[in-house]
Amino acid sequence: MKTVLITGCSSGYGLETARLFHAKGWSVIATMRTPREGILPRSPHMRVVQLDVTDPDSIAAALAASGPIDALVNNAGIGVVGAFEATPMAHVRKVFDTNTFGVMAMTQAVIPQFRARRSGVVVNVTSSVTLAAMPLAAAYTASKTAIEGFTGSLAHELAAFGVRAKLVEPGYAPSTRFAHNAGIDIADLIPETYAAFAGPIFEAFANPPLITREGDVADAVWQAANDLSGQLHFPAGADAVALARAC
């Protein structure tokens, strides 16, 4: 039985991905910064482990508790929507700590075991903002675009050892708590000078023609983790697929 470690499983994409891999017969290590009870199947093949991807000690403890794994899914992330001019640099750093450096730290921590076994896969969940620029998301886009370049380079680097690296690019999902973990109010990031510009954008977000569902992302992560073709990019959701085709 293969084992997958998934970060950010308390809700949204991570939670749905953990459920899918378990249903597909994998052993799942579902990590959360603050573990929640009762949201995942009770099973000997489903374990919840505390993990803060911004804390080196937490990473080391979680991996020690997990034992050997076959796949790492870097899903944990925080969102930020607003005018970049109004976004405190301290918050920009917080976004990068989780979305960029957290992914890199987790990946670096698991590479030795993958390389030693000459097998394994790292799946990094980014966003469709890397496929087409979206306004009022400059810091978030930057944090995710960095992981796109990182993963593309890493895929070449690890291929020599039989290890794969993949990207899953979810589209816009109104049902997910995009900025829930951001710790900052969107209203604070839209100053009056940007109100006229931001209004139509938020109206469009409220009624998107195409959306991404949590199951779309879980399916794409599953495909990426099991892909042996060399494909790097896996857009997830109808809107992300449409963007990828248009690029």
Q: What is the mean pLDDT of the chain?
A: 94
Amino acid at 209: P
pLDDT tier at 112 (50, 70, 90 boundaries)?
Answer: very high
**Distance (Å, whole) CA 33 – CA 7:** 9
**Distance (Å, whole) CA 192 – CA 196:** 8
pLDDT at 37: 87
**Distance (Å, whole) CA 241 – CA 247:** 10
Percent of the chain with pLDDT over 70: 95
Count Cα neighbours of 143 within 13 Å in the Cβ-side half-sphere.
24
pLDDT at 181: 56
pLDDT tier at 202 (50, 70, 90 boundaries)?
Answer: confident
pLDDT higher than threshold 90 for residue 189: no
pLDDT at 205: 81
**pTM for this prediction:** 0.94
What is the average pLDDT across 214-231? 97
pLDDT tier at 44 (50, 70, 90 boundaries)?
Answer: very high
pLDDT at 211: 86
pLDDT in tens, 17-39: 999 999 999 999 999 999 998 99
Q: What is the CATH number of the domain that holds 94?
A: 3.40.50.720
Residue range(s) defining the domain that contains residue 64: 3-246
pLDDT at 239: 93
Q: Which string of DSSP letters, residue by residue, matches 100-160?
A: IIIHHHHHHHHHHHHHHHT--EEEEE--GGGTS--TT-HHHHHHHHHHHHHHHHHHHHHHT
- Please pick, among 13, 140, 172, 194, the residue that the annotation labels catalytic: 140
Amino acid at 122: V
Identify the CA nearest to 82 among candidates 182, 180, 172, 189: 189
φ and ψ at 235, to 5 degrees?
-65, 145
pLDDT tier at 60 (50, 70, 90 boundaries)?
Answer: very high
Specify the number of domains making up the chain: 1
**Distance (Å, whole) CA 241 – CA 131:** 10
pLDDT at 175: 61
Asked if 13 is an active-site residue, the reply is no
CB-based burial label for 64 (10 Å; 0-12, 13-18, 19+): exposed
Which residue matches tokens 């459920």?
19
CB-based burial label for 152 (10 Å; 0-12, 13-18, 19+): middle
What is the average pLDDT across 53-79? 98
Task: Let me know: does 2 contact 67? Beta carbons within 8 Å.
Answer: no
pLDDT at 178: 52
**Distance (Å, whole) CA 83 – CA 137:** 7
Task: Let me know: does 32 contact 10? Beta carbons within 8 Å.
Answer: yes
pLDDT higher than threshold 80 for residue 155: yes
